[in-house]
């Protein structure tokens, strides 16, 4: 009996040691990836580094759930912050999007609408900065021909919505000319610190075990994508978490406030708009909160675009139509799960839309708690669309954390083998993507099945701040 008691008393120390080792490994890998060679130089070895980091993340999350709650939350937030600081160790590793961010900020600070002209336009030649438009020696240093630019698709107008553009202008205005890539990484770090601060609050409001914060805080995906690569997706995550925190309150205006925040998130990246439907479980009449939030979100979007439409008309769409064509959505080639099912390319979009529609119908009928509904809707959209870009799933990892649905993080992980295969021009890229996303779908189905038979511990309590209409499911 005494021996058993001693073993029980020593268990938390054992798990704390495991947590420290795993999170330290994550820190070392974060710094190594950030300071190492970019994807085109490191090639597949970089993916293996990320895979080892993912294993360390999983071990650290499991260990966190074996620690006392307060200890786990504090240790997780410290480790999560350290991971993000380590990601500042070098330039962007797998993406060049932040160079477009900087250009869009530069144009706006000069008083020009970002949707008016493409970066390569001669009318904007006077705004070109040497670090974005290097000389012949600079182009040679980055393995590009003379006359190059770091900006991707320089002949196309920007694709980013107005709130993202406002963020670019704000960061550029604060950082100033000559700030280079580090300003955008620091901007990503700030959004991530905001997310880490908001996650425990949102979890508490939904009655979740606060140790779920480890799922997002220690995940390699937001660390790499939002901080090292400087992606603006972190701003969308911040808005979505704020929306989920608002929904869990008793405020009579919560559906309107949630609509404002979801609208703002959609004005950073378009796909969070689908989460309006996740509010169906908020009231006794399911359509009322959805209509109010949807109308509010639509009004926010309309107001944000109005000024730009008045200036440049339909140019506000930017490269979006071209992007859909480039990514093979218009021809059906990008819908990998439909392709895996041997659906003809011409029918792939319809089949994928039916899949998303089925998820929407389930949410409407079952009325799950907003975080669970949001995770299902966003997961269905990403699985159906099977994007090349893994950073699109950062939002899914965040809402899955609040929902206590860890299997959805598999969608984020699935994007990396496909992304590497496409960037490295592997002839088996489509097959790799099909296998990766099929594995993510299988993980989601198995996870949901297990949860249906045996609810997770965090599903068994609801805080006093959440009403009966926000029941957990």
- pLDDT tens digit string along 296-329? 999 999 999 999 999 999 888 888 887 777 777 7
Q: Other CB atoms closer than 10 Å to residue 358's CB: what's the count?
A: 11
Of 327, 352, 108, 95, which Cα lies nearest the Cα of 227? 95
* Residue 189, token pair as written in the block: 């770090």
C-alpha count within 13 angstroms, C-beta hemisphere, residue 293: 32
On the 0-12 / 13-18 / 19+ scale of CB atoms within 10 A, 192 is buried
Of 312, 315, 352, which Cα lies nearest the Cα of 330? 352
Query: What pLDDT is attached to residue 2?
Result: 41
Map out the domains of the chain as residue ranges.
Answer: 2-93+184-470
Query: What pLDDT is attached to residue 470?
Result: 36
Query: What pLDDT is attached to residue 1?
Result: 41
Kindly report, residue by residue over 133-151, the tens digit of the pLDDT: 888 888 887 778 888 899 9
* Residue 446, token pair as written in the block: 């198995």
Residues of the chain with pLDDT under 70: 1-10, 283-284, 454-473
CB neighbour burial string for 378-390, b if at least 16 within 10 angstroms, e if fewer: bbbbbbbbbbbbb
Query: What pLDDT is attached to residue 471?
Result: 33
Query: What pLDDT is attached to residue 380?
Result: 95
Q: Which letter does DSSP use for residue 328 in this model?
A: T
* Residue 192 near residue 198, CB atoms below 8 Å: no
Helix axes 409-423, 44-64, angle to 10 degrees: 170
d(CA 393, CA 389): 8
pTM over 0.85: yes
* Residue 401 near residue 221, CB atoms below 8 Å: no
* Residue 235, token pair as written in the block: 């701003």
Of 293, 208, 196, which Cα lies nearest the Cα of 243? 293
d(CA 397, CA 394): 5
* Residue 149 near residue 133, CB atoms below 8 Å: yes
| Strand, helix or coil for residue 385 | helix
* Residue 402, token pair as written in the block: 């609040």
Q: Which letter does DSSP use for residue 154 in this model?
A: T
* Residue 371, token pair as written in the block: 């975080």
SS percent in the chain: helix, strand, coil, step 5: 75, 0, 25
Query: What pLDDT is attached to residue 397?
Result: 97
């Amino acid at each position: 009996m005494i021996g058993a008691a001693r073993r029980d008393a020593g268990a938390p120390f054992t798990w704390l040691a495991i947590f420290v080792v795993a999170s330290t490994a994550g820190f070392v890998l974060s710094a190594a990836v950030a300071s190492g060679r970019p994807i085109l130089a490191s090639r597949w070895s970089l993916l293996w580094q990320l895979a080892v980091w993912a294993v360390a993340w999983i071990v650290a999350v499991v260990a966190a759930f074996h620690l006392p709650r307060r200890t786990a939350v504090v240790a997780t937030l410290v480790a999560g912050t350290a991971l993000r600081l380590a990601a500042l160790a070098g330039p962007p590793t797998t993406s060049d999007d932040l160079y477009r961010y900087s250009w869009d900020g530069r144009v706006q600070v000069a008083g020009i609408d970002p949707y008016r002209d493409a970066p390569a336009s001669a009318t904007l030649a006077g705004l070109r900065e040497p670090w974005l438009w290097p000389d012949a020696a600079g182009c040679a240093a980055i393995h590009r021909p003379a006359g190059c630019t770091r900006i991707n698709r320089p002949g196309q107008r920007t694709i980013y919505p107005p709130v993202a553009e406002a963020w670019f202008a704000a960061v550029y205005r604060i950082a100033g000319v000559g700030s280079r890539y580090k300003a955008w990484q620091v901007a990503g770090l700030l959004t991530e610190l905001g997310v880490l601060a908001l996650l425990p609050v949102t979890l508490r409001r939904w009655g979740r075990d606060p140790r779920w914060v480890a799922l997002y805080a220690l995940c390699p995906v937001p660390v790499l994508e939002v901080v090292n690569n400087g992606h603006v997706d972190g701003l969308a995550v911040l808005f979505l978490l704020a929306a989920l925190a608002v929904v869990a309150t008793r405020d009579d205006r919560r559906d309107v406030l949630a609509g404002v925040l979801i609208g703002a998130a959609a004005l950073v990246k378009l796909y969070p708009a689908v989460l309006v439907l996740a509010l169906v479980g908020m009231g006794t009449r399911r359509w009322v909160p959805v209509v109010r939030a949807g109308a509010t979100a639509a009004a926010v979007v309309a107001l944000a675009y109005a000024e730009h439409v008045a200036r440049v008309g339909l140019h506000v769409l930017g490269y979006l139509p071209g992007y859909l064509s480039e990514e093979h959505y218009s021809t059906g080639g990008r819908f990998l799960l439909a392709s895996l099912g041997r659906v003809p390319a011409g029918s792939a979009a319809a089949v994928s839309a039916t899949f998303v529609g089925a998820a929407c119908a389930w949410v409407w009928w079952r009325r799950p708690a907003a975080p669970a509904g949001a995770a299902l809707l966003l997961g269905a959209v990403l699985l159906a669309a099977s994007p090349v870009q893994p950073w699109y799933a950062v939002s899914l990892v965040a809402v899955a954390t609040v929902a206590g649905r860890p299997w959805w993080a598999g969608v984020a992980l699935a994007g990396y083998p496909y992304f590497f295969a496409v960037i490295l021009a592997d002839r088996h890229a489509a097959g790799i993507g099909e296998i990766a996303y099929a594995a993510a779908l299988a993980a989601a189905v198995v996870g949901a099945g297990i949860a249906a038979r045996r609810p997770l511990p965090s599903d068994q309590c609801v805080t006093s701040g959440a009403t009966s209409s926000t029941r957990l499911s």
